[in-house]
Structure 1
């Protein structure tokens, strides 16, 4: 059922490659993590624009299905909530690292 509304969480996760010659340093991992976050924010922005368009069409009475509008709005809400939680965890991890004594 979750595939019908277009949410596929497994597609967001990429397997970690463990080749000896393809091992990445901390800078490379940080860059790839940053790229993944930028891609997720871009997708969230696209979802927001889609919901705004559907909402405007619904208000004008252009035949937008109310169920589809509700599903897209809830998907956007869940995406925003996930983004906030990831941000909170990243900040918490950073604070834990900064509190670590050497």
Structure 2
């Protein structure tokens, strides 16, 4: 399983989350939801799902009898779906950013 593209995408998403976190306003102080922390938490969950699936896959490949193929496949699919969802969120954020930057002031 080639994870270079996944790692690159996660790096880009983390950089975006860090940039959003450094520019956050008083939304959390006013009792609102803190978008940067929500995004960072989502990125962390996606990363953990990817790492867990990869570890299970390696355990199965090495012949560990505690890991069965069904669990490996389910975890790989869950990790894949969560990553695809994060990519779609990133695409929407980029699109929204471009729309805002193209607005006439």
The answer to whether TM tops 0.5 is yes
Aligned to 1:59: 61
1:62 CA drift (Å): 0.8
Aligned to 1:38: 40
Aligned residues: 77
Structure-to-structure mapping, 1:62-77, within 5 angstroms? 62-63=64-65, 64-77=67-80
1:61 CA drift (Å): 1.1
Mapped to 2, the partners of 1:100 and 1:41 lie a distance apart of 29
Aligned to 1:50: 52
- Please, which runs of 5 or more residues in structure 1 have no aligned partner? 1-25
Match of 2:26 among 25, 28, 32: 28
What is the root-mean-square deviation of aligned Cα atoms in Å? 1.8
What do residues 6-29 of structure 1 show as CA deviations (whole Å, max 9, x unaligned)? xxxxxxxxxxxxxxxxxxxx7234
Larger relative contact order (CA 8 Å, sep ≥ 6): 2
SS at match of 2:26: helix
Q: Under a length normalisation based on structure 1, what TM-score does the superposition of the two structures give?
A: 0.69
